[in-house]
Chains A and B, each alone.
Chain A
Amino acid sequence: MSSAESKVRTEKPADGEAGGAVLRMRGIEKRYGGVHALRGAELTIREPGVVHALIGENGSGKSSLLGVLAGSVRPDGGTIEMAGEQCSFRSPVDAVARGIAMVSQEIAVAPDLTIAENVLLGHRLVRDRVAGVSPRKSRAKAREILDGLGLDYDPGALVRDLRPDQRQMIEIARAVSMEARILILDEPTSSLTDDEVDGLFTTIRRLKAQGVAILFVSHRLDDLFEVVDEATVLRDGQTVCEAPMKELDADRIVAEMIGDAGAVAAKRGAARRRGPRDRVALSVKGLDVEGLLREIDLTVHAGEVVGVAGLAGSGRSELLEALFGVRPSSGTVEVEGEPFRPEDPRASIRAGIGYLPPERKTAGLSLQMSVRDNLTAIHNLGRLRLASPRRRQENEVAGRAASAMGVKTASLATPVGALSGGNQQKVALGRWLAVEGKVLLLDEPTRGVDIAAKWEIHRRLRDLADEGLALLVSSSEIDELGELCDRILVLFRGRQVAFLDREQASEDRLARIAGGHL
């Protein structure tokens, strides 16, 4: 869709109050070379103590807008007001001084320093006049801040020993200690387990109660409906919707994001047409991975989608890794009746097994290489290494895979790293379509992908199953499993505790079993 066609529908209640909103960004413009990333974007947080979501597809300008607010991106135009006062940020330091703190996705803590040192990073450790920095007093000060957030961490412990969610809390504590009035949380839940997400939300509610406004970015609908009060939707660098969360539902949000209500239904797609066949594609008996998985039995039929549910650490990812041969295991595996020993990715691929790793940037794609090279990588494995690639044939193979997955790219020669997250994920998936596979192992197939792209990937996965591929899908999102899968295997601490049919697998029941209750 072109930006000229898309109509801006801004629902803006009259704001006549004199004091001014906590934050008001107006007409923000930003160009990068020829790309117009922000075209007069607006963002208003009226009151302190609200959780405000910023929603948009990958590439809609969210990053730039947050960057402008956090002082790391210089806008080309527009105004920022805080409490009625005009501000301009030349650097992140300016923004911090005005009480804006950002907790980014890549967690910025120093692992070899203590919790207290991390919380008070940046000249805020408590000093004695003679003895220099006082660890004891610094810890006491950090203790106070952590107590305020309801965290019982030991301020003297090293950050190295913390889980990712705890490290994130340390960053939040740091922001709080700088007396942030606006806290930006950028996809804070993307790598957390459900329990950890609950912990985060508890902290968010405490901050709310203390009058901190929170700007929240997330691709997960669950997050939005649970903790968010109001939302701003960005599309093509413009603000297309500002509304309280209670006026929004999933379909409306996606419609605003992609700007075309008809496309929403198409992306959501129809239900499965065919369902599983009689042929067993993958059969696993007594699979053990030392210390991680015990006695896993499962079968996946051709045309079937089997889900793997479980908390982080339950062995979900490890099961797929073992089946693809990147993690040593013992047990019997058969692919279409043929015995198969998973030991080496290369042999697995030859046996017809494909694997989509959970982290596309670090494991799934060669980001600096072109879309074409990435899409044909698997297809070309059988070729002599000193042979020359045939451009025309490759274009054909890559073109077919790209259109089968609906990859949006300027050209096949574009480096994959230049694509949006959703499109990258489609390429990571599409490379497996260029070969005749039998089984596809998918770990978190829609992680870090916006909702519209997620629905589209779901639809395409169902199409793949209908064409006779066997899919084994591991996901931390239970609604994803419910939507995709015919049957769901539930793991708890490395053991399989249930194998449910789609009809038996309500979200509540799955969550209960995955948590170790029956």
Chain B
Amino acid sequence: MKLSSHKRAHKRQITLEMTSMIDVVFLLLIFFIVTASFTKTERDLDAVTKVNEKSSAASETDLEPAIVLLANVDGSWVYQIGTNNLTTFAELEEVLNQFPNKEDGAFVRAPDAAPYGMAAAAIQACKNAEFPGVSYVPLTPQ
């Protein structure tokens, strides 16, 4: 027994109107493509801040700890370790790598007028030289 005719079944085909949906989807796609901004990867430099650090006398060994001072010498900023004035990041990294006492950590002392980029580079150089702790010492005139 035939319950439904072939003709009847053929007429029941449902067609989904997708034009408007595609319009909206394309609009959203173009919006996100235009507004997307790909940011560069950020990482952290963790440093301990020593605000009341008057001197580096808290050393556990007889050797002096590494103190990187940002100093203005003849109008240009340099990294100063002891009496050595270092102008580039590579030089600083080399000196810090050869530093005999790494146990007491390193101190980066930055005056207010110093460029922050150099202070960050000094902290990075100390981290690269595998000092166990790097302290940031702000030098503000009293």
Decide whether A and B assemble into one complex. no
